[in-house]
Amino acid sequence: MRPSVWPIVVLIGDSSQSLSAQRPLSPSSSWIAYLPSDTVENYLKAIYELAQADSRGEAAVGEVAKTLGVTPGSVSSMLKRLHQQRLAKYERYGGVQLTAKGKQTAAAVLRRHGIIETFLVRVLKIDWAEVHEEAERLEHAISDRVLEKLDAFLGHPAFDPHGEAIPDAQGNLRTRREEPLARCTAGQERTVSRVYEPDGALLRLLETHGLVPGAAVNIESVDATTGVVVVGVRGKELLQLSLEKANRVFVAAG
Ligand SMILES: [Zn+2]
């Protein structure tokens, strides 16, 4: 017979909490004490992505605030909470780093996000410029059971429709060498690897010109003085991008 307290522990949680408790990527030992909310998940995801792009593996408080559209003050108080829960390391006036537990939780959220986006685009044929918003909502609600079924159904995709790497069930990411279009030089031939997904207008423009992940692109000119990058995909019209936009499109060699 089960100990009598066990069903009570399960019943006091809401449904998302009991699902969280079953997530395979989550550290199991301290799981009852730590149950992530949507907000915590969004913070961990933002810090994870910012830290990945940083050479010291840190995220600046101001950048976290900008990404999440909140004030630096509210970021500070949340970071203290994440620090107490051993999800992040945060020193006042310093940057923030995720602990192994924080990284694991963030990777689980990114995995749900990427698999959901892939499903929405590939199966439901929803516009790739619109699925990011939808996935932001669904990523907090989907159960592990449905997620793993979806992953198998889609053939275990390693990248989402925008070229973002999807962590595997162990939280590992497939990495690639890539650089923004803005850093390329005229005459180079590259393959589009990833585009900045929250910019829906940019995604629509890129699609019209064939600049989607996997497409071979020629860099026609890069003019630092005028801030204009001209690129082209064979069979499509040339596209002029500002340096700001060209920093949001990533390419790989070959
Ligand atoms: Zn997305």
**117 CA distance to ligand 1 centroid (A)?**
7
**Longest Cα pair distance anywhere in the chain, in angstroms?**
75
Question: Is residue 1 over pLDDT 70?
Answer: no
User: Is 166 a member of any domain?
Assistant: no
Q: What is the pLDDT of residue 18?
A: 37
Report which of residues 17 and 36 the model is more confident about: 36
How do residues 198-253 score in pLDDT, each as one tens digit? 889 999 999 999 999 999 999 999 998 999 999 999 889 999 999 999 999 999 98
Question: Is residue 32 over pLDDT 50?
Answer: no
**246 CA distance to ligand 1 centroid (A)?**
19
Helix, strand, or coil (residue 236): coil
Range of the domain at 223: 179-253
How do residues 169-207 score in pLDDT, each as one tens digit? 988 888 889 999 999 999 999 999 999 988 899 999 999
**172 CA distance to ligand 1 centroid (A)?**
18
Lowest mean pLDDT among 28-37, 158-167, 221-230, 239-248: 28-37
Question: Is residue 13 over pLDDT 80?
Answer: no
**1 CA distance to ligand 1 centroid (A)?**
45
**44 CA distance to ligand 1 centroid (A)?**
15
Q: What is the pLDDT of residue 188?
A: 94
pLDDT grade, residue 36 (50/70/90)? low
Report which of residues 34 and 12 the model is more confident about: 34
User: Is 83 a member of any domain?
Assistant: no
Please answer whether residues 58 and 95 qualify as being in contact, where contact means their C-beta atoms are separated by less than 8 angstroms: yes
Lowest mean pLDDT among 11-20, 50-59, 102-111, 131-140: 11-20
Both tokens of 197, joined, read 């997904």
Separation between Cα atoms, residue 13 and residue 15, nearest integer Å: 7
Please answer whether residues 90 and 96 qualify as being in contact, where contact means their C-beta atoms are separated by less than 8 angstroms: yes
CATH label of the domain that carries residue 198 = 2.30.30.90
User: Is 174 a member of any domain?
Assistant: no
Both tokens of 135, joined, read 């996935």
Mean pLDDT value of segment 45-61: 91
User: Is 13 a member of any domain?
Assistant: no
Mean pLDDT value of segment 52-66: 91
User: Is 150 a member of any domain?
Assistant: no
User: Is 214 a member of any domain?
Assistant: yes
> Which residues have C-beta under 5 Å from ligand 1, the single-atom ion?
132, 197
Q: What is the pLDDT of residue 254?
A: 65
Question: Is residue 159 over pLDDT 90?
Answer: yes
User: Is 215 a member of any domain?
Assistant: yes
β strands within 43-109, DSSP E: 88-90, 96-98
Q: What is the pLDDT of residue 51?
A: 92
**201 CA distance to ligand 1 centroid (A)?**
14
**136 CA distance to ligand 1 centroid (A)?**
7
Q: What is the mean pLDDT of the chain?
A: 85
Question: Is residue 35 over pLDDT 60?
Answer: no
**Look-up: residue for tokens 């910019």?**
199
CA 26 to the chain's CA centroid: 18
How many separate domains does the chain show? Answer: 1
User: Is 207 a member of any domain?
Assistant: yes
Mean pLDDT value of segment 89-110: 91
**184 CA distance to ligand 1 centroid (A)?**
25
Separation between Cα atoms, residue 58 and residue 30, nearest integer Å: 25
